[in-house]
Amino acid sequence: MDSLVEELLMGVVETLTGRNADFAATGAYSDLRLMPRLKTIVIGCVDPRVDPDEVLGIAPGEVATLRNVGGRVTPGLLHELEMLRTVVQAGGGDIGPGWEFIVLHHTDCGITRLEGQPAMLSQFFGTDQQHLAEQAVSDPRAAVARDVAALRDNPRVPGVRVSGLVYDVATGLTETVVQP
Ligand SMILES: [Zn+2]
């Protein structure tokens, strides 16, 4: 029996905690700090094909990542950024000049399958259904431009360098749609 099938027959959590034991044995965690070493926060989608650590080659401890459906800048995400800023301030720093936000959207995003669910989407975006089209859920390039604009010069996180990327699930490549 191949080892992957054997692992899956054990159950997923048993498999993953076993992998965790392997990770712990490497000691790779021991020098990591709370603050992301690159002073960067990536905002991305939950889609398992677009794990920012994988597709952008991010090493442990380098960036903080917030993921939601679509990698969208929603009221909830802005609230989380504000919470993170407060965490950084509690450590004597601040999220502002010298920090970067990277918004990472992608092709074939599952959020496009929610286009027939305007009530669900309007709640997610904190908007009424008449203005839902402005969120551009079917167009990752337009959506990333919108979300970058929402973060730039946002009074909750002022002075941060913001860029917008779209990852193509067919090629594995990102395109910088909005330059920092
Ligand atoms: Zn997605």
User: Rounded to the nearest whole angstrom, what is the distance from the C-alpha of residue 70 to the centroid of ligand 1?
Assistant: 4
User: Rounded to the nearest whole angstrom, what is the distance from the C-alpha of residue 27 to the centroid of ligand 1?
Assistant: 32
- 25 and 101 together in one domain: no
CA angle 50, 72, 104 (to 5 degrees): 35
Distance from C-alpha of 4 to C-alpha of 144, rounded to nearest angstrom: 37
User: Rounded to the nearest whole angstrom, what is the distance from the C-alpha of residue 109 to the centroid of ligand 1?
Assistant: 4
Tens digits of residue pLDDT in 89-143? 999 999 999 999 999 999 999 999 999 999 999 999 999 999 999 999 999 999 9
pLDDT of 1 reads 54
Tens digits of residue pLDDT in 50-91? 999 999 999 999 999 999 999 999 999 999 999 999 999 999
- Backbone dihedral angles phi then psi of residue 66, each to the nearest 5 degrees: -115, 125
Q: Which residues lie at CB < 5 A from ion ligand 1?
A: 45, 47, 109
Distance from C-alpha of 44 to C-alpha of 65, rounded to nearest angstrom: 7
- 26 and 58 together in one domain: no
User: Rounded to the nearest whole angstrom, what is the distance from the C-alpha of residue 23 to the centroid of ligand 1?
Assistant: 28
Q: What CATH number is given to the structural domain containing 73?
A: 3.40.1050.10
